[in-house]
Structure 1
Amino acid sequence: MTAKIQLARGVDEEVSDVRLTRSKDGSTSTATFIINEPNCTSSANSGLTDITGLFMIDEEGELVTRNVNAKFINGKPAGIEAVYKMEGESEWERFMRFMDRYAEANDMGFNKK
């Protein structure tokens, strides 16, 4: 199974950017996903626009966040920002396994600032 991200069930999205932050002791972490042109809001998917969260799906299962915000310009969707929060090392490691699979499937790279 290929790792994928969805905002509406059944509609795969292409992430524009992912920003990671982590506390110095590793106890809390966040991933902020930016999707500039969500597929679920395109005219081709007009019947599937119920955004109920950000779903990260791979062979291990599913990671979900409901912290999703839409940006609109002149009444039209202009982007989505979703924040996934993690507690502890095990959640961080699971997330990183997902991101490795997603990055490989979508030709993404990692830039450390």
Structure 2
Amino acid sequence: MMTLTPTIEFFADLPEELSNVSLRRNATTGARTVVMTFERLQAIERFQSFTQRFNGHLRLADEEGAMEIEPSSVKFIFGGDEGDELRGAQCSFDLIKNDHWERFIRFMERYAEANGMGYQDR
């Protein structure tokens, strides 16, 4: 099997750099929510949102293949003196099925290793 560097994409062939990921579990329902934070978005910096169509999915790809996940929300974060400077984005989605969760965790382990990220339990 060929080793593929894990990527996260909003637009095809335009990898984004994940700044942080938060994993949450609802104590009542057991539903698991993933919140991904991006300090910069290549798609916006390169104006890809105007030249390529966003298909509504977040694409996570690694050596096991690609997962297309529909975000439950995408929040843009603004700051600066005027409050109009894009500071990043947060993308949230739920993973209900255990096999989807396990696949996501394997992806994140590969992504973290390839990008020098570590795990911190809070």
Separation in structure 2 between the aligned mates of residue 102 and residue 29 of structure 1, nearest angstrom: 19
Q: How high is the sequence identity, in percent, across the aligned residues? A: 29
Is contact 1:5–1:12 with CA below 8 Å preserved after alignment? Answer: yes
* Correspondence for 1:69: 75
Is contact 1:7–1:40 with CA below 8 Å preserved after alignment? Answer: yes
* Correspondence for 2:58: 54
Specify every segment of 5 or more residues in structure 2 that has no aligned partner in the other structure, as ranges.
none
Which shows bigger deviation, 70-79 or 6-15?
70-79
What secondary structure does 2:37 align onto?
strand
User: Normalization by structure 2: what TM-score?
Assistant: 0.77
* Correspondence for 1:103: 112
Q: Are 2:40 and 1:31 equivalent residues in the alignment?
A: no
Structure 1 or 2: more strand by fraction:
1
What secondary structure does 1:90 align onto?
helix
| CA displacement 1:67-87 (0-9 Å, x = unmatched) | 322233444432111012101
User: Normalization by structure 1: what TM-score?
Assistant: 0.82
Separation in structure 2 between the aligned mates of residue 35 and residue 18 of structure 1, nearest angstrom: 9
* Correspondence for 2:19: 16
Separation in structure 1 between the aligned mates of residue 43 and residue 16 of structure 2, nearest angstrom: 8
The CA deviation at 1:24 is 4.7
Kindly provide the amino acid, as one letter, of the partner of residue 65 in structure 1.
Answer: E
Separation in structure 1 between the aligned mates of residue 85 and residue 14 of structure 2, nearest angstrom: 19
* Correspondence for 1:93: 102
Is contact 1:18–1:32 with CA below 8 Å preserved after alignment? Answer: yes
Separation in structure 2 between the aligned mates of residue 100 and residue 33 of structure 1, nearest angstrom: 14
- Between Structure 1 and Structure 2, how many residues are aligned? 110
Kindly provide the amino acid, as one letter, of the partner of residue 36 in structure 1.
Answer: E
Relative distance call for 1:35 and 1:19 in structure 2 (3 A) is same
